[in-house]
Structure 1
Amino acid sequence: MDEQRTFRTDRLTLRPLAASDAADLFSMYAHPEAMRYWDTPPHKDVATTRALLERMIANPQGCAWAICLAQNDRAIGVVEYLGNPGVPGMGYILHPDYWRQGYTSEAVHAALEYGFSVLGLDRVELWINDENVASQRLAKKVGFIRRGRFQQKYHHHNAVHEKYVYGMYRHEWQQLAGHPPASTPAARFYSLQPILLVPDVEATARYYCDKLGFSLSFLYGDPPTHGAVARGDWTTEGAQIQFSQRQPAGPSPAVELYFFVGPQLEQLYADYSAQGVEVVRELATMPWGMREFAIRDCNGYLLRFGTPG
């Protein structure tokens, strides 16, 4: 046992996960309620649980703990840093026999302290199913803030579901603990907006609004030399595109835009077809798992629309 990674809370011990925990954790991973929002179906046998634990343990970038009651060493759940590329992700699961007693939030709180203080993480992210109200409540309780959302589909589910992204910065954790931030937060990138060079800004904006269902954000100049359109439910989400007058007139650059949309992709395809939009790739499921189609706009730019297949 790695004593440096073992720590205790008021009621729990968090110790490094072991393959031998499979016998204790199988009943949790086999429980339909515990696995309701999981990315795999409930386990059928202990061997499946052991294989999962071995993958978690073998991940050199990850960090997984067995959640145990303080009075014994029997695992009743797992909390982990996923070791994924990009934003550090956290996951947690607890046997339903121990739900509604505050154990998960206690374990997550301890793992966050370790992550920010020992591992030196600058932020931590959770992905939570939109229907998993209990997990969302837990995230807010320990200090996470909802940052966004996206669509996802599990291979064992028939329908796409929505995932909420919750996040916490290290300086936010330090403030919650009553400590001044150790350093100034780095500059944040909130979004990326493409700027398409077009021969006629106003005509292009009208095309996107009339044919593709966007709304006009702004037009600048008389006649307009710059503008923007958007399509989405909220100001901070969805697709936003800017247009700028191309000088001198010439061919459009070789640029493709990919739009991630919800489960209404079939209807969107039908709408665009009915509008007489130039479809260059019919709706189909791709080998990499996305269902998508492609059109060409009034200036020749290729626009691709997709959703998890």
Structure 2
Amino acid sequence: MYRHKLIFPQSFPTIHTERLILKQATIEDAEDMHIYLSNETVCRYMGIDAHETIEDTKGEIKWYHDIFKEQTGIRWGISLKDDPAIIGSCGFLNLEKQHCRTEIGYELHHDHWRKGIMSEAIAAVLRYGFQEMYLNRIEAIIDPANTSSVQLLENVDFVREGLLREYDLGQNGFDDVFIYSILKRDFK
């Protein structure tokens, strides 16, 4: 019988890349995070409403802590090496330990779009997931209208597997989404 065991980190890992530090977000980061999480343009495809209050953002940070504690996900705050302010987040949610798979999610302050920051963060998170956690499959659920995210995922070797019809309940009814994935054996 085939056996494969996922390893979930016991303490929150910090990841360093060429330009970024991926770290645990704390309540002290709420003001920085509220700047981009209150922006309609940033939240348009996230499946959440733009945050109206700092309490909304503190609730988001609490969710990050809860999924880590429950071992159902891990979400890193993204900061530039020369500035500790959190400018986005990236990480795993809906972790299926038995099947060694998870879903990836991310967002970034609009002032930092199109600078390769999210590509760098995703590559680091994928590397951590495949090499340290022993994940086999990482999925992404994307609104077909989110062409920037589609391009981003395809640039980091995710494969579009299909269209999930009326998969998510959005503000205007049920929405179709693309499902993308990358497998450990395909990760470069």
What amino acid is the match of 1:163? V
- SS of residue matched to 1:121: coil
1:98 matches 2:112: yes
Give the TM-score normalised by structure 1.
0.53
Q: Paired residue for 1:19?
A: 27
1:51 matches 2:66: no
1:81 matches 2:92: yes
The question of whether the paired residues in 1 share the 8 Å contact of 2:168 and 2:177 is answered with no
Counterpart pick for 2:138 among 124, 129, 139: 124
What amino acid is the match of 1:149? L
What amino acid is the match of 1:167? S
Q: Paired residue for 2:149?
A: 135
Superposition map of 1:207-222 within 5 A: none
What amino acid is the match of 1:97? D
1:152 matches 2:167: yes
Shift of 1:19: 2.6
Provide the rounded CA distance (Å) in 1 between the counterparts of 2:94 and 2:131.
17
What amino acid is the match of 1:70? K
- SS of residue matched to 2:114: coil
Superposition map of 1:221-260 within 5 A: none
Provide the rounded CA distance (Å) in 2 between the counterparts of 1:170 and 1:17.
27
Counterpart pick for 1:68 among 79, 98, 114: 79
Gaps of 5+ in 1: 177-309
Q: Which moved more, 1:90-99 or 1:8-17?
A: 8-17
Provide the rounded CA distance (Å) in 2 between the counterparts of 1:95 and 1:73.
14
Q: Alignment RMSD, CA only?
A: 1.7
Provide the rounded CA distance (Å) in 1 between the counterparts of 2:76 and 2:157.
21
Larger Rg: 1
Provide the rounded CA distance (Å) in 2 between the counterparts of 1:57 and 1:19.
10
Shift of 1:90: 0.7
Provide the rounded CA distance (Å) in 1 between the counterparts of 2:57 and 2:12.
26
Gaps of 5+ in 2: 1-9
Query: What number of residue pairs does the alignment pair up?
Result: 172
Provide the rounded CA distance (Å) in 2 between the counterparts of 1:108 and 1:164.
18
Provide the rounded CA distance (Å) in 2 between the counterparts of 1:4 and 1:51.
19
Provide the rounded CA distance (Å) in 2 between the counterparts of 1:4 and 1:48.
23
What amino acid is the match of 1:10? E
What amino acid is the match of 1:129? D
The question of whether the paired residues in 2 share the 8 Å contact of 1:32 and 1:42 is answered with yes
Shift of 1:53: 1.2
Provide the rounded CA distance (Å) in 2 between the counterparts of 1:161 and 1:142.
25
- SS of residue matched to 2:39: coil
Shift of 1:3: 8.2
Q: Paired residue for 1:182?
A: none
What amino acid is the match of 2:55? A
Shift of 1:84: 3.6
More helix by share: 2
What amino acid is the match of 1:21? D
The question of whether the paired residues in 2 share the 8 Å contact of 1:130 and 1:161 is answered with no
1:42 matches 2:35: no
